[in-house]
Structure 1
């Protein structure tokens, strides 16, 4: 690119100075406690802000004409052609859209550990409303890290003439983080976190430097705390990357031998796997030479060149046709990833034959540079360098979003429990640890500050106590939208995360629900953010005291596939209206949910931090004995003729919840056409109690779900039971006690269906006001929820 080229009038109007980054001198002052004036413009770079800096480049056809003489117009045209945006939105580019240049916040520069930066008053005046108190220093994003994004829009005439001055936009598409800044020249001012070119093949010295810095300077933050004598495994296998073979360690403590783990997508086939028939053969030196899949081979090369001899890969370290071996290794899966020096993430590959780009296969994207500012006083020339991985969906979208690895169920716990990861994509290598994120195309190697990078945020289980349950439900939501080759793997693929949270909280988990008086009701009332599909399969591995494969309970989020979310309200505001017992076998017995730890002869439950956890009925709607103890004799006498001692003796542990509850019958009104929501009324159709999403019909009667199905009647009788109540303490309520209770209490209901005496959750209805619940014809019943 010739330096004599000048920007066109559109590009020259862009304030590229806002892309200059703090220098090492600036950050040095901050670290010494000295304020730095005007370290960045007081501008909001947030992607959702209407105030983020933007400039128009005119129509796309103008940009293409200008590309012959304007270097930045040329780069915008090249980005459009190479990114695939035109293919994603062909109708937008048929109409000659207008292109805008945006600056968006891609990350934030933070003080190093142990250092607090002084508030920037200019930032506070711009960001905060007058009546708001300033945020804490630790949470103050002092220095935003902007990048250049592009947006194409098609302005249309507004359909309403009185809005003629306000254009209506049709077909908007954005390409986030297309360019980053880089200062090129000779000057004492060295900017931090500038862009850089990444080579076609990985320069291995760079990841070695990242790892050394973490091991030397993170003060144990990225190292798991030892558990007593350390985690031991009766048999622990690793790949010897030097001898090209599998090695076995007997009664081995995981922390004694440095090793690396691999997280990848198997795909439909695996070139070589460990089986009972080849366990001894694959322990011979050289036995893995030329027989491992491409991803495993590249991982072995990377591990060896990083200075480590041993690599753990599930396909070759677990006997794949031995359930006992699988179960023993699954039990320590979380510890395997936590104790590894680092984890290699093969994020780009759709199967084990994809390999790791940059190890033996060159990356293909060519990064280009364009000068946008000449040198000035104390300033070097400012250039832009194109990024290797611009994204279409959102600036906050993970770099791995949409890649096969990010969509697979097993890879979540491998990512969440690893303390350090090297993430291989098609175009560059990323690093993430408990302290920082790093990547090839940006110079992040400094101890003066560190950069938190939005698209590299890794979901972690290592969280502060105040966010323990928030982080768990973040993981559950992530997991619920992922795919499993075998649905029966659902619990096993999340089990290591649950064990980690048992260590963090002291609570056991029942099918993914914490056995805690404060949290169980909250977890039981998980909700769907869209249609769900029931897991009708059995677990892949035998479980329970009967050692059989069992179905997933309908009351657990593990029993469903779809977008599952936690309740928006706090756990302390939800109160169980039931006293649940779980069925245990050998011998057959009932165990109250909160007594499960004692029943398992495990650690005692930690004392509650919430003084109001004990269930207590509300006198206006609950029965006086609703929370009495429940016995097997009561179940046999009361529940159903189908529930017999013989049947329960064959029912595995933890399949059935038993409880007394209030029940009512309501009616679905016949939907018209393709309505998404269906009204729920009383028997006479006088009162509309709430609406329910149409997709639940398929779990009651598949024929009813069909839009054009000719119903034999105009409504369907359905059964609801009350599970929890919610007290709206923030409402301004009446001083009348009965009126206050009626206005301030809402119920969470389960829509259930029955089969052979067992009830099954179909959907949850939240926030039904008490005044509506009291209008229902209710009765007290005993329920076995499966």
Structure 2
């Protein structure tokens, strides 16, 4: 770019993605617009106008907001950051007439997509990505029971052909659903039956056409390929959903629209896409905005989660544009062909390497569990396919979403502490007739399946080195059954805890794939946190050589022929444990949010805390103290808050309200190891060396009772020493 302006040259380098990697700080909007250069000031003015378009109430804010520009993703695009107001991904448009022009953007047709890109992307992936994209999650070979034959326009048995198939993932929408009965199903197997079928939605019609563009003959779409009139077959197919999508050669993802709208922008097939591509002048160049500011509702739907996570290649229709994603690349209609590597699902990849990694599982489940459902009882069926694939690493399988090999730890799941406020809402079953529900579809209170929201499930329970490590110790045996009165109870085998000590034993031969590494003195200073029996050596595994492990353990050798572990799902838990009564008081934090509920004994001593699920649960808990601003703010300071006495439990001890009485039951014990947070070496008051601190706790559930069955309200912890000083009673616990 020819210019004498240093700012324009720096912006150009950021947009071109050639040399400029550091963030360009332009100061406030006022600073940036005071320049005499008309080129970059017009660019900044555009973003100012776009921000203020939302209302003049932002006018005072923008004067103090800092503006910066930085290149992203190896020159794929750049970002304009406006502190406190948002950010904008932008793309330099390519000039085909200029040799070696660095722009990656393309000007798109307003009405019609460039359909010719679809077979091009597919062939490049198949021919150049070797086996990387063929089966990245090592999913066992599965054939759907039924497929759509797009040549004969009918449904056919998926077991009678070995040819590849395309899968469709979409949002049904708020339309009355159509149930295809046995007679209709039989008719749809006749050639050309789908051409005139009143049940063929625009979405499936458009997907049939796109399947032909992908040069394939068969399409899997749930509306026609799951026989909902046959509950047995339908249930089996739903359990295989993860594998069905994982075996599809390509999955068509319609993120913008629902079943009645179809996929706009297919010339001669569907309506115009009405694309608005805003071009911003920058001297003789042009810049375009990339993407939208919000996610389509497709991404909030529960059923679509495992569909997109397990698809090996994805043809995505989003923001009225075409996109491609596979394990190796991401390509976009709005960009010239550029290769960007490594777009795989790292979390699931770790699990599919055979590691029962609770941190990765926690992330996967948390992302899923914020999803919405038309019928809330679908929460487990909609992820059962994904869990069946993960069960090959969590070798005892899953009981309503909790891995049985780590059950004692998993049962203490809680709201994700990194997202505040993060209310969890109790899911409630619909009034849909039982014979129309997918099974198993219960919503037990003790499982995260019964609650909607971001959760974390044992993310610190790991043999991998971390600065925070938890080791759960079982205190009871857990059994499960399908009713609270059943005498046929199955023992849940938490084998991880049973075998953990033998894993740590230095005399135990190393399991396959592991190597032992002596620690240098420097490594010992770095790897400070370690559980009992560890810390002298470190272990590595050939399947994940970058990770450092404190002790070895058997890692599942997973291939595409490894079958899943599928358990009977039973909704009641049983154990012998202890019950205690404590009192709860709440603390307030940032913007008045309650941080947690403190658990106090009858002398008002703090003995633990409770991870409450939502504000409704806080009713009756008195407020004790809090801080006025966010902890990280320089202006943060603790302040006393006036007591808000609980009307029901107004007892006091030393002038302080005792709090609301709550019933707690013990579910496990654990020891927590973490890096001491008192400060880094060299800071005033800090330890001169990195140090580890430990604590021991009893994991508890806050429960309410109905007809002798306990139902979970929240989880928490009590200091181990304090727990055993409390008045307690032995109980036979039934959790529903």
- TM-score of the superposed pair, with normalisation by structure 1: 0.67
- Secondary structure of 1:589's counterpart equals coil
Q: Give the deviation of 1:176 after TM superposition.
A: 2.4
SS at match of 1:347: strand
Q: Does 1:520 align with 2:486?
A: no
Deviations 1:91-111 (A, max 9, x none): 21366636755334532xxxx
Report what 1:158 is aligned to. Answer: none
CA distance in 1, matches of 2:692, 2:10: 59
- Quick one: distance in 1 between partners of 2:291 and 2:441? 44
Write the deviation string for residues 471-512 of structure 1: whole angstroms up to 9, x where unpaired: 332221111111000001011000000111123443311111
Q: Is it true that 1:288 corresponds to 2:194 in the alignment? A: yes
Q: Deviations over 1:140-184 (max 9, x none)?
A: xxxx4463333446xxxxxxxxxxxxxxxxxx2122212346476
Give 1:656's match in structure 2, choosing from 537, 552, 572.
Answer: 572
- 2:72 pairs with 106, 114, 129, which one? 106
Cα distance in 2 for partners of 1:332, 1:606 equals 30
CA distance in 2, matches of 1:239, 1:209: 24
In the aligned structure 2, how far is the partner of 1:751 from the partner of 1:225? 41
Q: 1:762, CA displacement in angstroms?
A: 1.3
Deviation at 1:611, TM superposition (A): 2.6
Whole-Å separation in 2 of the counterparts to 1:223 and 1:12: 44
Q: 2:8 aligns with which of 3, 6, 12?
A: 12
Aligned counterparts of 2:292 and 2:114: Cα–Cα separation in 1 = 22
- The answer on whether the counterparts of 2:674 and 2:693 sit within 8 Å (CA) in structure 1 is no
Question: Aligned pair 1:440/2:333, yes or no?
Answer: yes
**Aligned position for 1:599:** none
- Name the SS of the counterpart of 1:278 in structure 2: helix
- Aligned pair partner of 1:238 in 108, 122, 147: 147
CA deviation string 1:580-614 (max 9, x = no partner): 33234698333321189xxxxxxxx9995763699
Preserved CA contact (<8 Å) 2:91 2:104: no
1:102–1:356 CA distance, 2 compared to 1 (3 A): farther
Query: What is the CA-CA distance between 1:263 and the residue it aligns to?
Result: 0.6
Q: CA separation of 1:311/1:181 partners in 2, compared to 1, >3 Å: closer, same or farther?
A: same
In the alignment, is residue 611 of structure 1 matched against residue 502 of structure 2?
A: yes
Shift of 1:344: 0.6
Q: Secondary structure at the match of 2:493?
A: helix
Which of 491, 494, 500 matches 1:592?
Answer: 491
| Alpha-carbon distance in structure 2 between the residues aligned to 1:340 and 1:311 | 9
Q: What does the per-residue CA deviation read over 1:278-331, in whole Å, with 9 as the maximum and x for residues that have no partner? A: 213333444333743232222222211221222211112223344233213213
1:622-677, CA deviations, whole angstroms, 9 ceiling, x for partnerless residues? xxxxxxxxxxxxxxxxxxxxxxxxxxxxxx96322222323321123599998736
Aligned to 1:268: 174
Alignment partner of 1:509 out of 391, 398, 409: 398
**2:38 is equivalent to residue 70 of structure 1:** yes
1:684 pairs with one of 594, 599, 602: 602
Q: Could you list the per-position Cα deviations for residues 444-475 of structure 1 after superposition, in whole angstroms to 9, with x for gaps in the alignment?
A: 345xxx3457xx97975574445854333222
Pairing 1:181-200 to 2, within 5 Å after superposition: 182=94, 186-187=98-99, 194-200=104-110
SS at match of 1:658: strand
1:668 is aligned to 584
How far residue 424 of structure 1 moved from its aligned partner, in angstroms, is 0.4
Alignment of 1:500-579 (within 5 A): 500-516=389-405, 519-529=406-416, 530-537=422-429, 551-572=442-463, 573-579=470-476
1:260·1:312 contact (CA, 8 Å) conserved in 2? yes
**CA–CA separation in structure 2 for the residues paired with 1:762 and 1:229:** 38
1:177 alignment partner, one of 89, 114, 127:
89
Flag structure 2 segments of 5+ consecutive residues without an equivalent: 417-421, 464-469, 506-567, 624-642, 651-658, 678-690
1:87 Cα deviation after fit: 4.9
Aligned CA RMSD, in angstroms, stands at 4.4
Cα shift at 1:61: 11
Aligned residues of 2:612 and 2:714 also touching (Cα < 8 A): no
Q: 2:361 aligns with which of 455, 458, 472?
A: 472
Q: What's 1:711 paired with?
A: 647
Classify the secondary structure of the residue corresponding to 2:184: coil
Whether contact under 8 Å (1:387, 1:441) holds in the other structure is no
Distance of aligned partners of 1:669 and 1:475 in 2 relative to their CA distance in 1, 3 Å threshold: closer
Distance 1:102 1:716 in 2: 50
Query: SS of 1:569's equivalent?
Result: coil
8 A Cα contact 1:679 1:692, kept in partner: yes
SS class of match (1:493): helix
Cα distance, 1:11 vs structure 2: 5.2
Partner Cα distance (2:26, 2:458) in 1: 41
Per-residue CA distance 1:714-743 (angstroms, 9 max, x = gap): 24321222323332345689xxxxxx9996
After the TM superposition, which residues 687-706 of structure 1 pair with which residues of structure 2 at under 5 Å, given as runs?
A: 687-692=605-610, 698=616
The answer to whether the Cα contact below 8 Å between 2:601 and 2:607 also exists between their aligned partners in 1 is no
Deviation for aligned residue 1:765: 1.1
Distance 1:504 1:678 in 2: 34
Contact 1:538 1:551 in 2 (8 A): no
Is the counterpart of residue 97 in structure 1 residue 7 in structure 2?
A: no
Instruction: Please tell me whether the aligned partners of residues 196 and 442 of structure 1 are also in contact (alpha carbons under 8 angstroms).
Output: yes
Q: How far apart are the structure 1 equivalents of 2:177 and 2:726?
A: 61
Note the 1:479-494 alignment, pairs <5 A.
479-494=368-383
Partners of 1:459 and 1:681 lie apart in 2 by: 35
- Residue pair 1:100, 1:150 contacting (<8 A) in 2 also: no
Instruction: Find the counterpart in structure 2 of residue 161 from structure 1.
Output: none
Q: Distance in 1 between matches of 2:244 and 2:318?
A: 23
Q: How does 1:132-151 map to 2 (within 5 A)?
A: 144-145=74-75, 147-151=77-81
Q: Tell me the CA shift for residue 409 of structure 1.
A: 0.2
Measured at CA, do residues 606 and 94 of structure 1 come closer, stay the same or move farther in structure 2, by a change above 3 Å? closer
Any idea what SS the aligned residue of 2:607 has? strand
- Count of residues in Structure 1 that have an aligned counterpart in Structure 2: 609
- Cα distance between partner residues in 2 of 1:607 and 1:722: 19
> Structure 1 CA distance, aligned partners of 2:231 and 2:621?
41
Residue 185 to residue 458, structure 1, CA distance change in 2 (3 Å): farther
Matched, 1:320 2:254: no
In structure 2, distance between residues paired with 1:435 and 1:500: 21
- How far, CA to CA, are the matches of 1:482 and 1:732 in structure 2? 36
Give the unaligned 5+ runs of structure 1: 23-39, 45-51, 108-143, 154-171, 374-382, 392-400, 597-604, 615-651, 734-739
Change (3 A) 1:470 1:278: same
Match for residue 765 of structure 1? Answer: 716
Q: Deviations over 1:258-280 (max 9, x none)?
A: 21111111012168663334213
Deviation at 1:697, TM superposition (A): 7.4
Q: Structure 1: how far apart are the matches of 2:424 and 2:571?
A: 20
